[in-house]
């Protein structure tokens, strides 16, 4: 136990890569901050599989990644695609009379699975849902979405697959999923993402630099 210790960054590259492969994500992040050689060994593992979501933060992150040197390590991308909220939610009168009445919300709060999460007041719930809806409306059909998604097919030289994961919501609050299940999202959510990906491919093809070897798949996330 007290014998000589080998420095990790002095190991042969092939051995170092195997060691990094056995580490967890957090350990690899820490290791990548030690020095340049360990960072070089860590980046291909850290960024081999990247997940981003339908949000300003997620799409801006993808856009930044597509313009960085790190993009050369990305082999797999996962796009987490939440259901799109009905735009009528932005109008409180429509929301309260047609989409989710106070009585409907009470039924939700005291429903069968209500003990699993804590619900906010009706007005606070509306504020949260309105904010989500506003952000989604600002993204739909925007330049940010178009540029970020089209970069998938032009800017990642080693990318092999793109998986679109459909889910109810990307929000962490558990009550949101229960409320959205009451018909607050559009029936065309999936079709919207299909169209967005098709348009991204079209934009990439028109740019003349599209890559043709990316496997595209769609998956339903477990609820």
pLDDT value at residue 108? 85
Neighbours of 142 (CB within 10 A): 13
Residues 104 and 15 in one domain: no
Residues 103 and 193 in one domain: yes
Per the CB < 8 A criterion, the answer to whether 162 and 214 are in contact is yes
Residues 35 and 63 in one domain: no
Residues 39 and 78 in one domain: no
The residue among 98, 100, 48, 104 whose CA lies nearest residue 73 is 48
Helices and strands counted in the chain (H then E): 10, 4
**Residue 59 CA from chain centroid, whole number:** 8
Residues 29 and 72 in one domain: no
Residues 65 and 156 in one domain: yes
Q: Is residue 76 classed as helix, strand or coil in its secondary structure?
A: strand
Residues 55 and 27 in one domain: no
Edge-to-edge strand list for the sheet holding 49-53: 49-53, 76-82, 161-167, 215-220
pLDDT value at residue 207? 84
Residues 26 and 86 in one domain: no
E strand residue ranges, the chain: 49-53, 76-82, 161-167, 215-220
Q: How many domains does the chain have?
A: 2
> Does 1 map to a domain?
no
The residue among 39, 40, 52 whose CA lies nearest residue 80 is 52
Alpha-carbon distances of 180 from 89, 99, 131, rounded to whole Å = 11, 10, 14
**What is this structure's pTM?**
0.84
Which residue ranges in the chain fall short of pLDDT 70? 1-13, 112-116, 212, 221-223
Show the tokens assigned to 53.
């979501």
> Does 23 map to a domain?
yes
Residues 133 and 57 in one domain: yes
> Does 2 map to a domain?
no
Beta strands 49-53; 215-220: pairing state: unpaired
Per the CB < 8 A criterion, the answer to whether 197 and 216 are in contact is yes
Identify the domain containing residue 207 by its residue range. 47-220
pLDDT value at residue 111? 74
What is the end-to-end Cα distance of the chain in Å, rounded?
48
pLDDT value at residue 171? 93
Residues 17 and 66 in one domain: no
């Amino acid at each position: 136990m007290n014998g000589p210790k080998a420095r990790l960054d002095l190991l042969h590259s092939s051995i170092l890569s195997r060691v990094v492969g056995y580490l967890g994500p957090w350990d690899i992040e820490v290791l990548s901050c030690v020095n340049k050689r360990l960072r070089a060994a860590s980046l291909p593992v850290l960024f081999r599989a990247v997940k981003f979501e339908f949000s300003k933060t997620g799409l801006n992150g993808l856009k930044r990644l597509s313009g960085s040197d790190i993009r050369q390590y990305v082999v797999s991308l996962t796009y987490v695609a939440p259901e799109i909220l009905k735009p009528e939610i932005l109008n409180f009168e429509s929301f309260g009379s047609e989409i989710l009445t106070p009585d409907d919300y009470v039924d939700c709060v005291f429903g069968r699975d209500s003990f699993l999460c804590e619900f906010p007041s009706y007005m606070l719930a509306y504020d949260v849902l309105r904010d989500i809806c506003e952000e989604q409306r600002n993204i739909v059909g925007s330049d940010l979405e178009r540029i970020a998604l089209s970069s998938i097919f032009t800017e990642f030289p080693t990318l092999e697959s793109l998986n679109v994961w459909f889910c109810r919501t990307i929000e962490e609050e558990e009550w949101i999923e229960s409320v959205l299940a009451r018909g607050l999202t559009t029936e065309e959510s999936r079709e919207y993402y299909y169209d967005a990906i098709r348009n991204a491919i079209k934009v990439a093809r028109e740019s003349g630099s599209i890559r043709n070897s990316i496997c595209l798949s769609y998956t339903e996330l477990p609820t």
